Amino acid sequence: ISTLIISFFKQGNIRDITDKLIAECRMRSQSEYKHKALSNDDITSIVLDIFGAGFDTVSKALSWSLMYLVSNPTIQQKIHAELDAVVGQNRLPKFSDRAQLPYMNAFILEMLRHSSFVPFTIPHSTTRDTNLYGFDIPKGRCVFINQWQVNHDPDLWRDPFIFRPERFITTCGKIDRNLSDKVILFGMGQRKCIGETIGRLEIFLFLAYYSRNWISVSADVTVDILQYTINNEHRRCDHFKVCARV
Ligand code: HEM
């Protein structure tokens, strides 16, 4: 992989994060910051980390989204109606449409909350004795957030096991920021996900493009979130069909 990554690099043609890292390190290795330059092996590890952390999560989010679309035809219709009104059929959706598509945003928030497909954050370790809300935690103790519990806490959410995007929409038709901030799926604090913004953007763009053009259909699918697999994938949908909308 290292050889491939380095051989694809062409000076002056920065196409992605791999090229940018290599270019930056080559520049540094010839400057006074030589000691801070990453080796080719470091670059390979970083790129693999980003691919690993960014690929599986986003593809799982899209897979869960399709599952919720296919199992909730009324919700799917509302997404189509909103897209037709805001984007129409004469152009493709853009990132800047996001603010005008509250129902689509609510659907994504509810998909993240209800599926909670990253149930726990990466385990971390306390660097000193500390106290959290009255609980003593000694130095060196493994700590992580149970995101699934937060996202299904009956004190925070009414009917937490029901999939209802409308819960995030205020009476004025806007996203309820107070409630949407309570959805935890990217971790919290200093080590929270560095790819949250791009991850949310990818999910939005995929769903907007997809839903503008396609309808997902299936016979009799219901999502039972207690039927997770160990990888937090939904159960297999055997009769998934996609039909063009026009
Ligand atoms: C829906 C999509 C995603 C979800 C739900 C998600 C979730 C998470 C979670 C829960 C963590 C652990 C945070 C912690 O330990 O406190 C994490 C870490 C991380 N994520 Fe994401 N992620 C997503 C997309 C991405 C993308 C697209 C990238 C890269 C482009 C990415 C890169 C990373 C990296 C590098 C870390 C480790 C950060 C560190 O240890 O400091 N993630 N992510």
The secondary structure of the chain, three-state, reads: CHHHHHHCCCCCCCCCHHHHHHHHHHHHHCCCCHHHCCCHHHHHHHHHHHHHHHHHHHHHHHHHHHHHHHHCHHHHHHHHHHHHHHCCCCCCCCHHHHHHCHHHHHHHHHHHHHHCCCCECCCEECCCCEEECCEEECCCCEECCEHHHHHCCCCCCCCCCCCCHHHHECCCCCECHHHHCCCCCCCCCCCCCCCHHHHHHHHHHHHHHHHHHEEEECCCCCCCHHHCCCCCCCCCCCCCEEEECC
What is the residue with the minimal CA distance to atom 39 of ligand 1?
191
d(CA 141, CA 127): 8
Residue 229: count of CB within 10 angstroms of its CB: 9
102 lines ligand 1 (CB under 6 A): no
185 lines ligand 1 (CB under 6 A): yes
d(CA 11, CA 24): 11
Instruction: Point out the least confidently predicted range of 30-44, 82-96, 214-228.
Output: 214-228
Report, as an integer, the average pLDDT of 216-244: 74
174 lines ligand 1 (CB under 6 A): no
118 CA to centre of ligand 1 in angstroms: 10
The first and second tokens of residue 186, run together, are 């990217």
Task: Write the pLDDT tens digit of every residue in 52-74.
Answer: 899 989 999 999 999 899 889 99
What is the residue with the minimal CA distance to atom 20 of ligand 1?
193
**Phi-psi category of residue 220: left, alpha or beta, with phi > 0 → left and psi -120 to 50 → alpha:** left
118 lines ligand 1 (CB under 6 A): yes
Task: Write the pLDDT tens digit of every residue in 5-48.
Answer: 778 888 888 998 888 888 888 888 888 877 877 887 888 888 88
d(CA 113, CA 69): 15
User: Angle formed by the axes of helices 40-71 and 73-86, to 10°?
Assistant: 110
Can you name the residues that pair with 215 across neighbouring β-strands? 243
User: Angle formed by the axes of helices 102-115 and 73-86, to 10°?
Assistant: 150
Task: Write the pLDDT tens digit of every residue in 121-150.
Answer: 999 999 999 999 999 999 999 999 999 999
Task: Write the pLDDT tens digit of every residue in 156-176.
Answer: 999 999 999 999 999 999 999
Task: Find out whether 146 and 120 touch, Cβ atoms under 8 Å.
Answer: yes
Instruction: Point out the least confidently predicted range of 111-115, 208-212, 230-234.
Output: 230-234
Amino acid at 64: W
Note the ipTM here: 0.98
